[in-house]
Amino acid sequence: MPDILIVGGGFAGMWAATGAARLLRTHDASATVTLLSPGPDLVIRPRLYEADPAAYRVPLDRVLGPVGVRRIEATATGIDTARRRVTAEGPGGRTELPYERLVLATGSALVRPRFPGAGLLHDVDTMDAAVALEEHLRALPDAPEGPGRFTAVVVGAGFTGVEIATELAGRLRAVAAPYGRADEVEVVLVERDEVVGRGLGEAARPVIERALDELGVVRRLGVTVARVDEGAVHLSDGAAVPARTAVWTAGVRASGLTAQLPAARDELGRLAVDEWLRVRGVPEVYAAGDTAAAPAEDGHTVTQSCQHATPQGKYAGHNAAADLLGLERAPFTTDPYVTCLDLGGAGAVLTSGWDRALREVPVAYAKARKRAINESWIYPPVDDAEEILRRADFRVGQRRPMPEPTG
Ligand SMILES: Cc1cc2nc3c(=O)[nH]c(=O)nc-3n(C[C@H](O)[C@H](O)[C@H](O)COP(=O)(O)OP(=O)(O)OC[C@H]3O[C@@H](n4cnc5c(N)ncnc54)[C@H](O)[C@@H]3O)c2cc1C
């Protein structure tokens, strides 16, 4: 019987499991930690806008196995807090898992629109979707000739929309160039707001706009999508953009499992949690990552980000284990908030603080930092129990030393 059950094998769930295992080991406790996840891998979700997305995964067993966390491959379908049981469906059928402490870390999902043709939209929210987009792009040179063959429409100019639009400019060219079709490539960014990236801050906007100009990304602002068909994206102002590729990025919501707890949720479906990440009103249940509206510094609430999911996981796991052992729990704190937005072939942009002040650094430095985050900082160590447990300590931050730019 699992004493601590973690549901979800993303950043928050994986670090919750290792964080709990670390405290139990420190106290020589015999309690067990079990993680429930539908797939065998940690998906490096922040990289799914990049080319070759299938590579961005880490086998969970190489992180959990060395520190004694058991993994069950199944999808949780129900939570009964009165009976302290989670129901799950897996390859072996339906199962019921009791728990003493539960960490809900089932992440978030893109909210898909319902307009006609919405089924034709691609996205980069999950590994399957990102791989499907990659396969679609690679098949474009074999698609019938005609308008929009190498045009992609990206809907939503928020964080993910800007990253995939700027990246697609290069990815489409790489696909079309060997066939002498690079000059047919076009990326159109559609946004219902009058500006791109409002949520990314005023200061970053000129940098983003320059990057879009440099890469030739066309903006259609103040409009949304009315319908999509095989050959075009039809906008709300009546215009049709001939395009064989449409990518939806607008709107993310916390996992539906959050609705199964008798607790308050915010407008993103995230659970209200206290300073220890315990779900308010449900004492044996903790929430972490995109499922939790945790308090961040200076009265802010965490964002749905890897940056916040990782420390939340470590604290939630630690606190669930501390709670079980009757030890003092640690109030959640985060590193100061920063953002690093990829701008594809035009570099990247860095901001710091909740007011998103622009870091005036060379583009090459911002890009190097994005690469460091995506290719190294967010990856867990594997196969090495000592290093996994060291990094699972909530006092160890994600960021690594990186020399400040000179000149
Ligand atoms: C394209 C893209 C770019 C991004 N860029 C950045 C960035 O630059 N910086 C940043 O900080 N963040 C970024 N993010 C956001 C970041 O990826 C998420 O905030 C982060 O992954 C949240 O971690 P999580 O563990 O809460 O959820 P997830 O990583 O979504 O993991 C949830 C896990 O729960 C599992 N699960 C779901 N339902 C169930 C169920 N019923 N039963 C069992 N398991 C279940 C899922 O399979 C998954 O393994 C980006 C996201 C995307 C899509």
How far does the centroid of ligand 1 lie from the alpha carbon of residue 13, in Å?
Answer: 10
CB of residue 211 inside a 6 A radius of ligand 1: no
Most distant CA atoms of the chain, gap in Å: 68
CA 379, 383, 387, 393 torsion-angle sign = positive
The pLDDT value recorded for residue 32 is: 97
As a whole number, the mean pLDDT across the chain is 96
Q: What average pLDDT score do residues 347-374 get?
A: 95
- In sequence order, which residues have a C-beta less than 8 Å from that of residue 198 and are 6 or more positions away? none
Single-letter residue type at 102: L
* Contact criterion met (CB below 8 Å) for 6 and 105: yes
**8-state DSSP, 351:** E
pLDDT, tens digit (0-9, with 9 covering 90-100), for 30-39 = 999 999 999 9
Of all protein residues, the one whose alpha carbon is nearest to atom 31 of ligand 1 is 10
**8-state DSSP, 279:** B
| Fold match flag (4-109+252-335 vs 117-248) | yes
Q: How confident is the model at residue 198 (pLDDT cuts 50, 70, 90)?
A: very high
H runs (alpha helix) in 326-350: none
CB of residue 309 inside a 6 A radius of ligand 1: yes
H runs (alpha helix) in 43-103: 61-64
CA distance 16 to 394: 10
How far does the centroid of ligand 1 lie from the alpha carbon of residue 68, in Å?
Answer: 23
Q: How confident is the model at residue 405 (pLDDT cuts 50, 70, 90)?
A: low
Backbone φ and ψ of 226, nearest 5°: -95, -40
How far does the centroid of ligand 1 lie from the alpha carbon of residue 42, in Å?
Answer: 9
Segments making up each domain of the chain, as ranges: 4-109+252-335, 117-248
Q: What average pLDDT score do residues 379-397 get?
A: 96
* Contact criterion met (CB below 8 Å) for 197 and 208: yes
How far does the centroid of ligand 1 lie from the alpha carbon of residue 10, in Å?
Answer: 6
**8-state DSSP, 158:** S
CB of residue 37 inside a 6 A radius of ligand 1: yes
CB of residue 312 inside a 6 A radius of ligand 1: no
Cα–Cα separations (whole angstroms), residue 71 to 8, 160, 341: 10, 30, 33
Single-letter residue type at 366: A
- In sequence order, which residues have a C-beta less than 8 Å from that of residue 401 and are 6 or more positions away? none
CA distance 69 to 335: 27
At the top level of CATH, which class does the domain 117-248 belong to?
alpha beta
Q: How confident is the model at residue 350 (pLDDT cuts 50, 70, 90)?
A: very high
H runs (alpha helix) in 34-114: 61-64
Strand partners, 190: 155, 220
The residue whose two tokens read 């559609």 is: 190
The helix (run of H) or strand (run of E) holding residue 214 is helix 205-215
Q: How confident is the model at residue 397 (pLDDT cuts 50, 70, 90)?
A: confident
CA atoms within 13 A on the CB side of 294: 32
Cα–Cα separations (whole angstroms), residue 104 to 33, 261, 289: 13, 10, 9
CB of residue 347 inside a 6 A radius of ligand 1: no
Of all protein residues, the one whose alpha carbon is nearest to atom 5 of ligand 1 is 46
* Contact criterion met (CB below 8 Å) for 349 and 358: yes
The pLDDT value recorded for residue 403 is: 61
- The rounded radius of gyration (Å) of the Cα atoms in the chain is 22
| Interaxial angle between packed helices 11-26 and 385-392, expressed in degrees from 0 to 180 and rounded to the nearest 10 | 100
What CATH number does domain 4-109+252-335 carry, 3.30.2350.10, 3.90.1150.180, 3.50.50.60, 3.10.129.10? 3.50.50.60
Candidate from 35, 302, 305 with most ligand 1 atoms within 8 A of CB, to mutate: 305
60: left (phi over 0), alpha (psi -120 to 50) or beta: alpha
Of all protein residues, the one whose alpha carbon is nearest to atom 39 of ligand 1 is 106
How far does the centroid of ligand 1 lie from the alpha carbon of residue 292, in Å?
Answer: 12
pLDDT, tens digit (0-9, with 9 covering 90-100), for 258-305 = 999 999 999 999 999 999 999 999 999 999 999 999 999 999 999 999
The residue whose two tokens read 């919501």 is: 253
Q: Nearest to residue 385, comparing CAs of 11, 29, 142, 62?
A: 62
- In sequence order, which residues have a C-beta less than 8 Å from that of residue 149 and are 6 or more positions away? 140, 143, 181, 184, 244
Q: Nearest to residue 209, comparing CAs of 361, 343, 400?
A: 343
| Interaxial angle between packed helices 306-325 and 11-26, expressed in degrees from 0 to 180 and rounded to the nearest 10 | 30
pLDDT, tens digit (0-9, with 9 covering 90-100), for 154-197 = 999 999 999 999 999 999 999 999 999 999 999 999 999 999 99
Q: What average pLDDT score do residues 75-95 get?
A: 96
Q: How confident is the model at residue 338 (pLDDT cuts 50, 70, 90)?
A: very high
How far does the centroid of ligand 1 lie from the alpha carbon of residue 302, in Å?
Answer: 14
pLDDT at 404 over 70: no
CA 237 to chain centre: 32
How far does the centroid of ligand 1 lie from the alpha carbon of residue 234, in Å?
Answer: 30
Give the pTM: 0.96
